Amino acid sequence: MGVFTGNKVKMVKNSDSNGPQIIALVTASIISFSAGSLYAYASPAIPKLLTDYNFTIQDTAYFPIIPAVAMLVSTPIGCKLADKIGRKRTLLIAGMLHILSWLLIALARTSYVIYISRIFFGIADAGMMAALPAYIAEVSTPKVRSLYGNIMVISSFIGQFVANCIGYYLSISVAGFAMMPIPILFVIAFSFMPETPYYLIMSGTSAEAMNSLQKLRGYENVKAEFIQISLDVHRQLSESGRFKDLFLIKSNRKALIIAVISRCFQTFSGSNCIAVYSQYIFQEVGGNISNGVAGMIVSGLFAVVNPFANIICDKLAFNIVNLSVISWFPVVGLATYSVTFCLGLGVVPTLFLGEIFSTNIRRYGSAVTNVVVSANFCVALQLFPLLSGYGMWVPFLVFGLCCLIASVGSWFIIPETKGKTLEEIQQMLKGTVVKGNQTTKSENVL
């Protein structure tokens, strides 16, 4: 394997190791941990803002909404940055905005400072969602991507769990300072990671792209893979890459439909509302478990189940839970949801963002998808308190119906990308069969 040492990489003989790729993916995913903690921090923070900071209900209502609105507005900029300055630099900027966001939370004494903090988080989220899925897809081989492609989501769930724990036991100021080292660690560690070879080839720096590929693979003889990636990137860039081509060209349109619909399924399954309003949910439904502990249990299940979902479902299946104790029922219900969500909707739609779009159109595809998703966040987060006013069962009935639609729709819409290179995914969308460098069907513009 290869060991990163600044701008150089020390080569080790074992060329079969995936270690360098995994190190890059794990390091990149630290920002997802930070984003998850900032997002879920609304749940334990809102009660403290009401009691300790004399915030009104109207003041706190904006706490979970502002990041979604800021992401909605800044997504086109984030996607453009990912293409202009690179995936790595865009992620580093997002990390620095996370540091600033936590610092403002730690120092805040008025609602306006809290709001500014959430704006910076939303802007950072736009950059992260534009660059991180692309970074994960472009630095890894199909085998590694299949095994570790969901690390972004796993890291986010762990961040949500940590935020619920720290936010419950610590004051807002102390929690802000306690969480700040995470994005600081990311900025320092990720500075030593390579840029993606795909981006470097796109920007015309072949020597740097070759060096990046050597670091990621851990050995020097990467010429064959480098040539293949170069051919793939140049072929994709040779196609028309205008914004309107996202809708006019069949394969681009198909990719956009897959990305948007899968992310809509993910949003309206209720996961975002549960992350933000978990303590409020348990407060409303009652039970013997405190709101904070219940929130930690659910977010902890998200974190644990995601990487081990198949094992937990096969081995545990929740047979250990005594449903006759009705006060446990809300936790059991959300725990069951955590398992089933992590089996598919929690991972696949986010992973698609880095896989499904062609290099020449990725910026526009990611921008449109993330704008739609940001708008969905705003709608879902506003819809939840509105519907819960008619009874907590109402929003969960809506979530359940959306999950049912998602399970049926996914069967017909979502393709299988496991084990495929990014070029093979593009050819699959075109309906072509690759044989060497030849394809059996040409692209049609509708």
User: Would you put residue 5 in left (φ > 0), alpha (ψ -120 to 50) or beta?
Assistant: beta
* pLDDT tens, the chain, 446 aa long: 444 544 444 444 444 578 899 999 999 999 999 999 998 888 788 778 877 777 776 677 777 788 888 998 998 899 889 989 999 999 999 999 999 999 999 998 887 888 899 999 999 999 998 899 889 988 988 888 877 777 888 888 889 888 888 888 888 899 999 999 999 999 999 999 999 999 999 888 889 999 999 999 888 888 888 888 888 888 878 776 778 888 888 888 888 888 888 788 777 777 777 767 766 666 665 555 666 666 666 666 666 655 654 444 444 445 434 434 444 455 566 666 665 665 566 666 666 666 777 777 777 888 888 888 888 878 887 777 778 777 777 887 888 788 788 777 777 777 766 667 777 777 777 776 554 445 555 444 34
Distance of alpha carbon 164 from alpha carbon 167, whole angstroms:
5
pTM above 0.85, yes or no: no
Distance of alpha carbon 238 from alpha carbon 165, whole angstroms:
50
Are 97 and 123 in contact, with CB atoms under 8 Å apart? yes
Distance of alpha carbon 61 from alpha carbon 118, whole angstroms:
12
Consecutive H or E run containing 8: strand 8-11
Distance of alpha carbon 82 from alpha carbon 315, whole angstroms:
42
Are 106 and 179 in contact, with CB atoms under 8 Å apart? no
Q: What is the model's pLDDT at position 323? A: 37
Q: What is the model's pLDDT at position 102? A: 95
Q: Which backbone phi and psi does 191 adopt, to 5 degrees?
A: -60, -25
Q: What is the model's pLDDT at position 85? A: 94
- SS3 state at 434: strand
Q: Using the Cα atoms of residue 61, residue 63, residue 68 and residue 74 in order, give the sign of their dihedral.
A: positive
DSSP label of 2: E
The CATH homologous superfamily of the domain defined by 1-222: MFS general substrate transporter like domains (1.20.1250.20)
Structure token pair of residue 85:
């300055």
Question: Token match 């008619």: residue?
Answer: 390
Q: In Å, what is the CA distance from 187 to each residue of 32, 84, 94, 325? A: 12, 20, 9, 47
Distance of alpha carbon 289 from alpha carbon 207, whole angstroms:
59
Q: Which backbone phi and psi does 103 adopt, to 5 degrees?
A: -65, -40
